[in-house]
Structure 1
């Protein structure tokens, strides 16, 4: 049986970054069919009880930094807990990933997602910059035309549809993996995702 995974993500999320390469490797290993689905957390948080980082209680913000360091070290994944360009608008990168998924398929979308998330958290680059997004496309060997396409109405509509689908499914944070419809929230649940995909 070939499993299907709907991969709901936010490109500016450190947790998406920390889990991304492990998830992509797991999908390759198991032959899972992946749909790469960026979503707008700015629309999801207000209706799901989430808060943007600056509005969270100080003790929650402090513990988040501790956990980021902890996971970075445990996983051997380089990460700046307080990168130069963060908070950062995720929409331009989310639309770019959506455009790549539409035109080039899941493997290419996984590749550009990995590049975008690493750009924020490992390389301290500004993913709200069109210039940076163009550089990332080139570094991934993808068509430069995707940048213009990412600003077209069709892609914006798809991004909004993905966000609404996430809301309808009860998704409340990133990353979320729906394996054959079963929800797993967070990169720290990838062990459970692996069990499900290998079953």
Structure 2
């Protein structure tokens, strides 16, 4: 029996990108379907979040993400521009956000087209892993979509005028994330049990094996 697991994922989360090779390996090696469920990052869901955290947290985050990338052998650099516009000194989030809404809606549309995992993989590599400045300009996003087997222009035509529908689906994903018992990304949720962070992937596989997860036939 093929099992399935929900993956709650954000285009602004470095850990979401850093887990992608292992998410793909889960599907490659096991009889498993990953249901990609794009959500907005916590900075958008809770604009006051970063003003409440310990001042040491941002510095630790920056140290840790580069360390994880080095450990996993992945290319990594902080994106230019950041998918979320944010004043890092004051930790304030302006309402005008030119990137993250577009990205997340495109993620939803990729899921509709059956290429969700491929799209978030390709686009996150373009943003976080390939050192591309101004990834939102020129043909960078179109190339990333094509690499995932998708036509960016056609996706954007489909979304145009229906933004409210996509926003409702994003909110539904965020509600499902909370219902599973967490608020952060990346989170895998299997039968109502959350596994938060790219460092809990193996534990989620362990749990799914208890439920009958089988190796994929070669």
Scaled to the shorter chain, the TM-score interval is 0.7 to 0.9
Query: 1:39 & 1:193 partners in 2: Cα distance?
Result: 20
Q: 5+ residue gaps in structure 2? A: 85-98, 211-218
User: In structure 1, what is the equivalent of residue 9 of structure 2?
Assistant: 9
- Asked whether 1:112 is paired with 2:119, we answer yes
- Cα distance in structure 1, aligned partners of 2:4 and 2:166: 23
What SS does structure 1 have at the residue aligned with 2:49?
coil
SS at match of 1:26: helix
What is residue 18 of structure 1 aligned with on the other side?
A: 18
* 2:155 alignment counterpart: 146
**Aligned with 1:95 (options 97, 102, 105):** 105
Query: Of Structure 1 and Structure 2, which has the larger fraction of its residues in helix?
Result: 1
Corresponding residue SS for 2:11: coil
1:30–1:65 distance in 2 versus 1, CA, 3 Å: same
The verdict on how the C-alpha distance between 1:159 and 1:28 changes in structure 2, with shifts beyond 3 A counting, is: same
Bigger radius of gyration among the two: 2
- Report the 3-state secondary structure (helix = DSSP H, G, I; strand = E; otherwise coil) of the residue aligned with 1:5: strand
The answer on whether the counterparts of 2:123 and 2:145 sit within 8 Å (CA) in structure 1 is no
Which has the higher mean CA deviation after the structures are superposed, 169-178 or 37-46?
A: 37-46
Aligned match of 1:86: 82
Going from structure 1 to structure 2, the CA distance change for 1:55 and 1:126 (only over 3 Å counts) comes to farther
**Structure 1: where are the runs of 5+ without partners?**
none
Are positions 1:30 and 2:36 aligned together? no
The one of 24, 49, 53 equivalent to 1:51 is: 49
- Aligned mates of 1:114, 1:60 — CA distance in 2: 26
Q: State the shift of 1:147 in Å.
A: 2.1
Query: How far is 1:23 from its partner?
Result: 1.0
Shift of 1:160: 2.3
Distance in 1 separating the partners of 2:69 and 2:2: 31
1:44 offset after TM fit, Å? 4.1
